[in-house]
Amino acid sequence: MESRVAARRRLGFVTRSASSAAVDAADLAVVARSVAETAAAHVRSRRAELFAPTGTAPGNDAVTSKSTPTDPVTVADTETEALVRDLLRVRRPGDAVLGEEAGGALSVPDGVRWVVDPIDGTVNFLYGIPAYAVSVAAQIGGESVAGAVVDVARGITYWAWRDGGAYSCPGTAQAPEGEPIRLRANAIDDIGFALVATGFAYAAGRRRAQGEIVARMLPRVRDLRRMGAAALDLCMVASGAVDAHIEHGLSPWDWAAGGLIAAEAGAHVVLPAPDSRASDGDPTIAIAPGIADDFMVMLAEIGATEALPEV
């Protein structure tokens, strides 16, 4: 059987490895957390200003669409990314930034690149479903070395830095900051009891293929969960709220912080290449370590380790 390492290389995935960068990853994590929490406070306040407490009215001029008519972007997304870029310009002048809304070069630069998702889970944000996040990560050589994800509605911050561990604590605006909790992926050894988080693309062809994969997976695991925010899914693997996550066609800003947080919590993590595009359709995978081997075998058997095209 082909080894997991060989399979990852064949598929073009990036796996967790030590960084040779001289920049202090712990210092970058402090910046990532501070910026993400400030941005999350803005998102929290704008939700109340732009929309009803739950649900949203059609034709709201705060919402436009992106890749498909069902892929929304709100004025809060663009405002928040602009805020993050301004904060990073002050804290880390000269660093590159790649963001979901304002873009940036996918090619890996010299030095530090910040990868930003101002609101991961925009549809949830739009409808008032309390599962959306701000994600900020620092990469060097295309690998994340520090990152923070803020669960905006619940006021929880997750953060990590390379070889420093992953942590969470109650967040800034809704609850006083407590002692950080060291995160560990669940100690589970049977995929039949695995609770698996997943998500679906906006393109109809890829959604169809993802549905077929889910149909093959569901009889072999405990159950599936679809939260609608990949960054939170990855943090949930880290915290033990789920046992695994798989989703095809994520962009770097979806996984840059959450993938590091899951890896630093001991999860087995497989990520797309740092210059990948959502249209490439590669899977992002995070698995509790005790089931990683069996889960990867199962994913290969059901066709989930290959890229899924958009059409």
> What residue numbers does the annotated binding site for Mg(2+) cover?
100, 117, 119-120, 254
Distance CA 33, CA 182 (A): 15
Distance CA 267, CA 165 (A): 11
Distance CA 151, CA 2 (A): 38
- Residue stretches of the annotated binding site: 100, 117, 119-120, 254
**Which residues on neighbouring strands pair with residue 169, listed in sequence order?**
157
Torsion sign across C-alpha atoms 287, 268, 288, 276? negative
How many Cβ atoms are within 10 Å of 52's Cβ, its own excluded? 12
Residues 6 or more apart in contact with residue 240 via CB below 8 angstroms: 183, 184, 185, 186, 288
